[in-house]
Amino acid sequence: MRTYHVTTFGCQMNEHDSERMRGMLDSLGYEEVAEREDAALILFNTCSIREAADNRFLAHLGQAKRLKSDDPTRVVGVGGCWAQSVKEEVFRRFPFVDVAFGPGQIHRLAEFLTADSIDAHGRFLMRDAGREPECAQGAQGARAEAGRGYFEFEGFAGHLPMKRAREFQAWLQISQGCNCVCSYCIVPSTRGREQSRPPGELLAEVERLAADGVLEVTLLGQNVNAYGRDLPRDERVTFAELLRAVDAIPGIRRIRYTSPHPKDIREDVIRAHAECEALCEHIHLPLQSGSSRILKAMRRTYNRERYLDRVAQIREHVPDCALTTDIIVGFPGESEEDFQATLDVVSEVAYDSAYTFVYSPRRGTEAAELPDQVPHPVKVERMERLVALVQERARERAERFVGRAMEVLVEGPSRTDPARLRGRTTHNKTVNFDGTAEPGDIVEVEITAATSMTLNGQERLLSRVG
Ligand code: 5AD
Ligand code: SF4
């Protein structure tokens, strides 16, 4: 039996890429197994956003090495952003890795695993493509060239089958890559220049998803607001127009997207939130820092005032909109005063939730070379203060839901009490509640209590909305 196991690290884009890998492998007759040790093909879809992500992956790779030494017929494949950031170095550092590919070559996975790579017992045989440096000479030279090419962006995986985790939710990749030059970020070097998928292709995909029972679709891109700018003039639509077109597709009850860039979010998108029925009342607006001086060093191209103007505009058009954010603590040169400016913005905006990160120098990025790196204990101490404030404000914000009936898309049993249910509001708040609904139902839930992270409630009888 040709079995495989995929471990995914990183963002929703990576989760979605892994769905494509699974879909493709299933269509080739492979079978997914729950445990890595039972797999003939061990795949990793990696992330490189922070050092912690690298380390987590390397620990897993160590286990794959042991499994491969027990049974050398296993194939180990490494895809995604970490693979892209180290390229052929992966084969030098980890000679037991058979296949490596970047986020732009997902559709080539099948080629790496061609029929001739499987022996009479259905086991994988190693393929030499990309096996530097041995094949860099002689007759193998052409193959080695192709191996290098594997790390260039070659195309979207949009036409590939995908295996979704839940039948009623789907991701839609609208663009690939990023043209921003944020000085801390490795993504432009791992996912390349921005390329938008044509709107016709996207809308056809959403129609197929809707016909397939999908209720909630999440549009994915590194900077979704820049969507369409690179398309030929006759095909070009703005992100706001794309949102409206998706909203018009029958059956799609919820539209989410991630992430917009504060420099590019415009009033047309904010108005779409007010006017499109399916567009959720939630905007993830990464702040990164509340200090204009640090934002400049980060090359974010907005300052604190501009960011707060955007927030005011959102609140004006969509008063109940949930706002979430990403914040980096301890960027090089961040003083106590700069950090205080971040706390001030967090206090003023009162986010519904925030992802907080300790700054991590990344290879090849501008900020990694900056002097004045903040000592680790200072980063940790600031992080603690930031998290405490984020949680305090989030809890206060969540109070506004208590006593209200909220529309909840049921996702499954509650994680803490399997006798209860769990779902999400359009604000992207997780609700744990008592009720009789099934996953995929949209029901009304009376909110009875709130913490900084979750809401608690009771399903309203006869409330099925969809
Ligand atoms: N160090 C810490 N956090 C980072 N992020 C991106 N690069 C780094 C880095 N080098 C954070 C940003 C981004 C989120 C996905 O990860 O906040 O929005
Ligand atoms: Fe990680 Fe960024 Fe790549 Fe996503 S795009 S997998 S967050 S490095």
Does residue 191's CB lie within 6 angstroms of at least one atom of ligand 2? yes
Bridge partners of 329, per DSSP, are 358
* Residue 13 Cβ contacting ligand 2 at under 6 Å: yes
The preferred substitution site among 55, 84, 86, 191 for testing ligand 2, maximizing ligand atoms within 8 Å of CB, is 191
- Cα–Cα distance, 305 to 341 (Å, whole number): 12
pLDDT value, residue 150:
52
Q: List all residues 6 or more positions away from 421 whose beta carbon is below 8 Å from its beta carbon.
A: 410, 412, 413, 414, 432, 433, 434, 435, 437, 459
Strands (E), 30-127: 31-32, 41-46, 75-80, 99-100
Instruction: Report how far residue 95's alpha carbon sits from residue 85's, in angstroms, rounded to the nearest whole number.
Output: 17
Q: Residue 108: its pLDDT value, please?
A: 79
The reported pLDDT for the residue numbered 464 is: 63
Q: What average pLDDT values come out for the chain (466 residues) when binned by 10 residues? A: 93 95 91 97 96 95 97 93 91 90 84 55 40 29 36 71 91 95 94 94 97 97 96 96 98 97 95 98 98 98 98 97 98 98 98 98 95 96 98 98 98 96 98 97 97 96 64
Structure tokens at 415: 């994680």
Q: What is the pLDDT of residue 133?
A: 30
Tell whether pTM > 0.85: yes
48 Cβ closer than 6 Å to some ligand 2 atom: yes
Instruction: Give the pair of three-digit tokens for residue 439.
Output: 């996953």
Q: Which residue owns the Cα nearest ligand 2 atom 6?
A: 47
- The tokens of 357 are what? 């990160």
Q: Is the peptide bond before 361 cis (omega within 30 degrees of 0)?
A: no
C-alpha distances (whole Å) from 103 to each of 154, 208, 244 are 9, 24, 29
Residues in the chain: 466
The phi, psi pair for 457, rounded to 5°, reads -165, -170
Side chain identity, residue 402? V
Strand partners, 456: 432, 449
Q: Is 227 in the pocket of ligand 1 (CB under 6 A)?
A: no
Judged by its nearest atom, the ligand closest to the C-alpha of residue 326 is 1
For residue 463, what pLDDT is reported? 57
Q: What is the pLDDT of residue 114?
A: 60
pLDDT tens string 323-370: 999 999 999 999 999 999 999 999 999 999 999 999 999 999 999 999
Q: How far is the CA of 185 from the centre of ligand 1 (A)?
A: 6
Query: What does the pLDDT read at residue 152?
Result: 66
